[in-house]
Amino acid sequence: MQLQSYLYRPGKTTIIFLHGLGLNKETGINLFLAPDLSGYGILIPDLPGHGKSSEVIQGTAYTFEKISEQLIGLMAKLNIGRYKLIVHSISSFFIPYLLQSSLPPEHIILLEGNITMDDATWSVSLSKMNNHELDKYSALLRKTAKIVLSSHLKKKANPFSITAYSNGLKEVNPKALRDIALDALLLTEAGILFIAMRQYTDKVLYIIGETGQCSKGTRQLLSELEIKTFTVPNAGHYPHIDQPVIVIAEVASFFSN
């Protein structure tokens, strides 16, 4: 299991973007194009089992802990000393492992992050699929994601629109889908993310798509922990794709504080 493919721009402080399940690094590429973030380095990997890092390796367990080790190794290879973290959807489960590492993030932004059991319904279904169903589901993910991303291109051009979205999605490894979904379910049941976020609340921003999938349970937790939230109008579960200008402006403002 390796992070075989990534986009990287060096900088004194680096923004690391981790994409959601079934997607790839191209879904974060707007970060490279935003003038407000030009002073930051950017690192966006294809997570193992996704994109150009989707090579199937026999005997590999795709868990957040193991992938976090790969990510930390990549940061060491690139001499990244300071970084801010942006995670989309299921990638919120990388947060506990990065926080307990020798190189924790300075700030964290969750884009429609999965946190509570209310967010885990899809994970239960995915974990029960047989191999044939997983193959079909991975194909559906690619098709659906392409539609979501391509629809962005049909809108009036804005400073951050890019054609890479239309062809950025490559293979998704069904084994990775199942393993990651199972691990997310176990971590949700264990409450591992609650503990991490309670210790880090003033450094966290949760971005919610107005018509997205942020569950009632997650909203209650965010309120209890007094975590700052920002709702993106006319956006769903992909706020950074649906409304990149708005989201990037909020990212830049939060990271500068």
**Using one digit for the tens of pLDDT, what is the confidence trace for 113-143?**
998 888 887 788 888 889 898 888 888 777 6
Query: Does the pLDDT of residue 228 top 50, yes or no?
Result: yes
| pLDDT tens digits, one per residue of 67-98 | 999 999 999 999 999 999 999 999 999 999 99
- Tokens 């940061």 label which residue? 75
**Cα separation of 119 and 99, whole Å?**
22
Look up residue 155 and give its DSSP letter: S
- CA end-to-end span of the chain: 36
- Supply 205's token pair: 């921003």
Question: Of 162, 159, 148, 175, whose CA–CA distance to 89 is shortest?
Answer: 148
What pLDDT is attached to residue 190?
Answer: 82
Helix (H) or strand (E) segment spanning residue 111: strand 108-111
**Cα separation of 187 and 177, whole Å?**
15
| pLDDT tens digits, one per residue of 20-61 | 988 888 888 888 888 899 999 999 999 998 888 867 666 677
pTM here is 0.90
Q: Per the CATH hierarchy, to which homologous superfamily does domain 6-256 belong?
A: Alpha/Beta hydrolase fold, catalytic domain (3.40.50.1820)
- Supply 254's token pair: 């939060």
What pLDDT is attached to residue 160?
Answer: 46
What pLDDT is attached to residue 40?
Answer: 97
What pLDDT is attached to residue 159?
Answer: 43
CA triplet 239, 53, 160: central angle to 5 degrees? 30
Query: Does the pLDDT of residue 8 top 90, yes or no?
Result: yes
**Cα separation of 27 and 89, whole Å?**
12
CA triplet 55, 92, 148: central angle to 5 degrees? 65
How large is the average pLDDT for residues 205-210?
95
Do the Cβ atoms of 42 and 8 come closer than 8 Å? yes
